[in-house]
Each structure stands twice: as C-alpha cells, then as structure tokens.
C-alpha cells in the first residue's frame, strides 16, 4: 500500500539568534552537545585546512564543504555505528566522525591509493563522484539489510542538483516501493556549480518531490545542527521501526566556491554569501551552547586545537606515504585478474626499468 503524505512546508529550526528568535531544545545531554560540537569543529577544521593544503599544492582539486558541516555532523550524529553512510564528494570527510583517519581522506584528495578505504570497516561507502548514482546503492543496501533481518539504516547525501538526475528518481522510487530503511539527505545549498536551484526544478520545494515517491519530505534549516539532528533522528526511528524511507531537504546557501577550481564571483550573489558567512553554522551552535552554559571559551580553544593537531598529523602522515607502485594499476579490478594483466605489468616494468 502506498502512503501518500504531505510534505512539510516550513523549515525546521531549533537554534535561535539570541535576540528575537527564541531557542528550541533537543534531547541531548551536555556531553552529547559537546561531542556534536567537536564533530562540527573537526569538519570545519578539515575543510579550512584542506583549502590551505590545496593552495600549497599538497592536495589536488578539492570540493569545499564550508558551512555544510551542520548538515553532515547533525545527521551523522543521529546514526548508530552499524548504520551506513553513502557520501558524495561534498561529504568526503564525513568518515572522520567515525574515526576514519584524516590522512586517508587527504590521501584521496592527493590521488594516492592510501585514500581508498574499506567501506565495511567504517560503515562509510566510497566517495561517489558522479551525481546521485549512489542513491540506489544506499537504497539497495538498506533494502538488502532489511531482507536479511538486520536493522541497519542507510543514509545517502547529495546536493540539490542531484534531484534532477535519473539515478535519484530511480533510487527514491525503489526506496518507496521496497520500504527501504533509507534516508535521502539533500543538502540544498541552492547551487550546482553555477546553476541555481530555480533552474533545477519548477517544484516549489525539493521536499515536495518526496510525495511522488510515497515518503515523507522534511525541510530543515541546514545551518542549524540541532534541527538537522532532530529531523534525522526522527527519520532513523521511522526507518528502523519499519516505516520506510524519508527525504530530508536541508536548506542553506553555498557560501564558498563549489570546489577549489571554481570562481563563483561570476555567478553568485556576494551580499547573500556575506550574510551567510556571518551566520555560519559552527558559530551559530557555539553561541547556542554558550547561551545554555554548555561550552566555555577554554573548551572552544581546546577543541579547535585538537582539530588542528589532527590535521597537522593527518597531512604529515599522508605526505609520508611512500609513492604508489605502478604495479597497483593492475590491482583490485578483479578478484582473479586475467592473464593479460601479468603480461601488461611485465612489459610496463621492463619499460620503466623497475
């Protein structure tokens, strides 16, 4: 039986502005609040340092996620360890929240094989570079887990542009039909490189699309880590309880270039960006926590220092990786490589003189 549910119109919000907008609350202990803040700062530090490393020529082209940290950390905080995360390149460092070493993710952006991890070890699928094609993976994983009697949930992250892709449509269709315990998490930062969301769809909101797949569509302030957490927690509970998938549209505004190779000054509204930067998500949560006496300046300093140290160690470790052997070109494509690979490698080694 299909369940046609109306999508929610307004953005969910928890964090106020300390003035006219009142603060809401979520059911987290002071320790959990601190953990969540640590996650936010870790991602922020990863992102800011990565841009520097790119400028220094220490990593390659990098997809910036500045001010997307609340969407990533807030949603991931609502998951259990056994749940799987299917990231796009915008969530390249989300594995850090599960203990994936920074050196691994930095190695990925350095194009070094040490950057390719085992998804089973971390519950984090490989970074999906093509747009939206991992949505059916998350759905298949969630569906397959349910069939096996596991109660694991899968979350797929993608941007607003991804909702125009056929893979999103097919994945969402499957999620609805098979009642998959999946969360389709859209970080609607309103830009797909230079294409605004108004050019992606004529729908009033992206969450409206959820109706067509027979799943609830929830809209949340993507800069509000607690609202994101709360919406995801609800979606996880629905999924684990056998009530199927949820589409979450987290709305923000891209306040940094799409990637290090992008020049947004050609197309973006700089005033709007400035507004967004002043209201960025880490500061919003920090001020919230201070209003409730849950965070001290000393803790802020300490947590920032932790993040910086982790990155310093991470880049050092990534740079200390020995150069990849060209023989790796032939590794891992097949469990049992064809004989031709052996011949190709022998020829390559002869020519390289190795």
Partner 1 sequence: MAELLLVEAVNDALHIEMERDGTVMVIGEDVGRLGGVFRATAGLHERFGADRCVDTPLAEAGILGAAVGLCMAGWRPVCEMQYDAFSYPALDQLINHVGRYRWRTRGKMSFPLVIRMPYGGGVRAPELHDDSPETYYVHTPGVKVAIPSNPADAKGLLAAAIRDPDPVVIFEPKLHYRTGKAEVPQGEHVVPLGEARVAREGTDVTLVAYGAMVPLAERAADALDAEASIEIVDLRTLKPLDEDALLASAAKTGRVVVIQEAPRTCGFAAEVAAVLAEKAIYDLQGPVLRVTGYDVPYPYWQIEDAYMPSVERVVDAVRRLLAA
- Where does this chain bind partner 1 (CB under 8 A)? 84, 113, 116-121, 125-126, 130, 133-145, 147-148, 150, 152, 154, 166-167, 169-171, 173-174, 177, 331-336, 338-340
Q: Give the shortest CB-245-to-partner 1 separation in angstroms.
A: 13
Q: Give the shortest CB-335-to-partner 1 separation in angstroms.
A: 4
Closer residue to partner 1, CB minimum distance, 37 or 185:
185
Q: Which residue among the candidates 33, 112, 137, 258 is catalytic per the annotation? A: 258
Q: How far apart are CA 66 and CA 343, in angstroms?
A: 46
Q: Give the shortest CB-151-to-partner 1 separation in angstroms.
A: 12
Closer residue to partner 1, CB minimum distance, 82 or 349:
82
State in Å, rounded, how far the first CA of the chain is from the last one: 63
> Angle 130-136-139 (CA atoms, 0-180°, nearest 5)?
140
Q: Give the shortest CB-131-to-partner 1 separation in angstroms.
A: 10
Q: Give the shortest CB-112-to-partner 1 separation in angstroms.
A: 12
Q: Give the shortest CB-146-to-partner 1 separation in angstroms.
A: 9
Q: Give the shortest CB-196-to-partner 1 separation in angstroms.
A: 25
Q: How far apart are CA 84 and CA 91, in angstroms?
A: 13
Q: How far apart are CA 99 and CA 92, in angstroms?
A: 13
Q: Which residue among the candidates 254, 284, 285, 288 is catalytic per the annotation? A: 254
Is 254 among the residues known to form the active site? yes
Q: How far apart are CA 173 and CA 153, in angstroms?
A: 17
Q: Which residue among the candidates 55, 267, 312, 342 is catalytic per the annotation? A: 267
Q: How far apart are CA 322 and CA 104, in angstroms?
A: 13
φ, ψ at 176 (rounded to 5°): -65, -50
Closer residue to partner 1, CB minimum distance, 167 or 218:
167
Closer residue to partner 1, CB minimum distance, 139 or 289:
139
Helices (H) and strands (E) in the chain, counts: 12, 7
Please tell me the number of Cα atoms within 13 Å of 208 on its side-chain side: 8
Closer residue to partner 1, CB minimum distance, 170 or 234:
170
DSSP three-state, residue 247: strand
Q: Cβ distance 289 to 295 under 8 Å?
A: yes
Structure token pair of residue 296: 């001290």
Closer residue to partner 1, CB minimum distance, 115 or 257:
115
* Tokens 């800069």, residue located: 223
115, 140, 142, 147: which is closest to 129 by C-alpha? 115
Residues 94, 95, 99, 104, CA torsion sign: negative
Is 258 among the residues known to form the active site? yes
Q: How far apart are CA 247 and CA 249, in angstroms?
A: 7
Sequence-separated contacts (24+) of 333-337 with Cβ below 8 Å: none
Q: Cβ distance 230 to 186 under 8 Å?
A: no
Which residues are known to be catalytic? 254, 258, 267
């Amino acid at each position: 039986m299909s369940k046609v549910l109306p999508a929610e119109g307004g953005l969910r919000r928890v964090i106020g502005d300390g003035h006219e907008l009142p603060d809401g609350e979520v059911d987290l202990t002071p320790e959990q609040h601190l953990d969540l803040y640590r996650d936010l700062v870790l991602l922020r530090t990863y992102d800011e340092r990565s841009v520097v490393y790119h400028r220094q020529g220490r990593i390659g082209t990098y997809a910036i996620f500045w001010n997307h940290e609340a969407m990533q950390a807030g949603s991931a905080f609502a998951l259990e360890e056994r749940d799987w995360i299917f990231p796009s390149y915008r969530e390249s460092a989300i594995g850090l929240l599960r203990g994936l070493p920074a050196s691994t993710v930095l190695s990925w952006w350095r194009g070094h094989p040490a950057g390719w991890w085992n998804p089973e070890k971390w519950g984090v699928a490989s970074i999906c570079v093509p747009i939206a094609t991992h949505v059916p993976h998350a759905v298949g994983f969630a569906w397959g887990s349910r069939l096996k009697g596991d109660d694991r949930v899968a979350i797929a992250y993608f941007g607003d542009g991804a909702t125009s892709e056929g893979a999103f449509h097919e994945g969402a269709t499957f999620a609805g039909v098979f009642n998959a315990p999946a969360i389709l998490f859209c970080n609607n930062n309103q830009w797909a490189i230079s294409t605004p969301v108004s050019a992606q769809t004529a729908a009033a909101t992206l969450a409206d699309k959820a109706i067509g797949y027979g799943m609830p569509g929830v809209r949340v302030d993507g800069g509000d880590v607690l609202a994101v957490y709360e919406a995801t927690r609800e979606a996880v509970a629905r999924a684990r309880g056998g009530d199927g998938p949820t589409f979450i549209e987290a709305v923000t505004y891209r306040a940094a270039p799409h990637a290090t190779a992008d020049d947004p000054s050609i197309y973006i509204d700089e005033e709007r960006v400035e507004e967004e930067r002043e209201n960025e998500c880490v500061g919003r949560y920090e001020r919230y926590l201070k209003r409730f006496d849950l965070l001290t300046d000393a803790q802020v300093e300490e947590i920032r220092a932790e993040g910086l140290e982790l990155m310093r160690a991470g880049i050092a470790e990534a740079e200390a990786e020995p150069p990849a052997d060209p023989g790796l070109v032939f590794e891992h494509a097949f469990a049992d490589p064809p004989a031709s690979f052996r011949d190709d490698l022998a020829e390559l080694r002869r020519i390289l003189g190795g």
